[in-house]
Chains A and B, each alone.
Chain A
Amino acid sequence: MISRSFREAATGAMAEPIGYMERTRRYYEAQGFGKAYTWAHFDDVPFTPLPKPVSDSTLVLITTMALYDRGASDVRHVASCSTGEPPVRLYGDDLSWDRTATHLEDRESYFPINVLNELVRRGRIGALADRFHCAPTEYSQRRTRQADAPEILKRCREDRADIALLVPI
């Protein structure tokens, strides 16, 4: 672990980023939930130097989308699927995303599998791992840290993944 020190490489004039933590707090307060959510925070950030060039590495893609259209009563678990024949769409109706501004009809807008395959063809990435993984979005940080993250690590190792790209919606 190394103490966190953010380095910024911003390009061009950009608007102030949206404060999602504050917006979420106000939204659930308006819904009558009494106690504000305590977001995960750590003073230290882990860092593993790249062991070999990306062009020699196997990359695993991790999403928070689901493989099927979950209902409210469906218990969420880590899921995995072949990158060789990925589903034509993934599902996120039970997740929070900006339904007023956009949609999830284009898989590449949240799951860049075609671009990654193209980067493999060009030799920019060594290979894609045989499977991609779906991380279940959880309010419980304990559940993510103690159950889901170790399970995803196990599957990444089974697939001999060297590096991981994580794309939440």
Chain B
Amino acid sequence: MCHQTVSLVARHLESNGIPTVVLGAARDIVTHCGVPRFAFVDLPLGNPSGKPYDRDMQAAIATAAIDLFETASEPGTVVTLPYRWSDDESWRDGYFKVSVANTDALRRAGEERRAARAHLRATGQVRTE
């Protein structure tokens, strides 16, 4: 959801004269929305600007994102940055995993979430604008 939020903000800034670059890891969400310039990094959600403590990777990623301001010449330009999280690709399966093993836990989590939301709405603890 963070990727959709910044995509919408980027579109608004760009429409009002401020060129933007989105640097992110959820490629499908950003390209589905459509942004002017997108530097895509295929890293886990949470570390869009590089692996923790890997200063070389972080410097390269941010620099490439800045370069995109000047190299993009048309809307919807996507550049895939050539950085990998690890040789082991198993990390890809962990986020929002749904399996037989966690079916009951997910159902309970959903019930708790709906109850919490209902309480916040009932007590006025929500945005109103």
* Residue in chain A with minimal CB distance to B116: A72
Q: Are A169 and B74 in contact (CB under 8 A)?
A: no
A14 → chain B closest CB, angstroms: 6
Q: Are A109 and B50 in contact (CB under 8 A)?
A: yes
User: Is chain A's binding surface mostly helix, strand, loop or mixed?
Assistant: loop
Give Cα distance in the complex from A41 to B47, angstroms. Answer: 25
The contact string, 1 if C-beta is below 8 Å from chain B, for chain A 99-131, is 111111110111110011011000011000000
Could you list which residues of chain A lie within 8 angstroms of chain B, going by C-beta atoms? 2, 4-12, 14-15, 17-24, 26-28, 30-33, 39-51, 53-54, 57, 59, 62, 64, 72-73, 75-77, 92, 95-106, 108-112, 115-116, 118-119, 124-125, 135-141, 143-145, 147-150, 152-153, 156, 161-169
The contact string, 1 if C-beta is below 8 Å from chain A, for chain B 1-43, is 1111111111111111111111110111101111110001010
Q: Are B20 and A30 in contact (CB under 8 A)?
A: no
Q: Which of A77, A106, A166 has the most CB of B within 10 A?
A: A166
Q: With an 8 A cutoff between CB atoms, is B109 at the interface? A: yes
Q: Which of B9, B15, B35 has the most CB of A within 10 A?
A: B9
Q: Are A119 and B47 in contact (CB under 8 A)?
A: no
Taking CB atoms, residues of chain B closer than 8 Å to A118 are 59
Give Cα distance in the complex from A57 to B66, angstroms. Answer: 11
* Residue in chain A with minimal CB distance to B113: A31
Which residue from A27, A39, A119 sits with its C-beta under 8 Å from B33?
Answer: A39
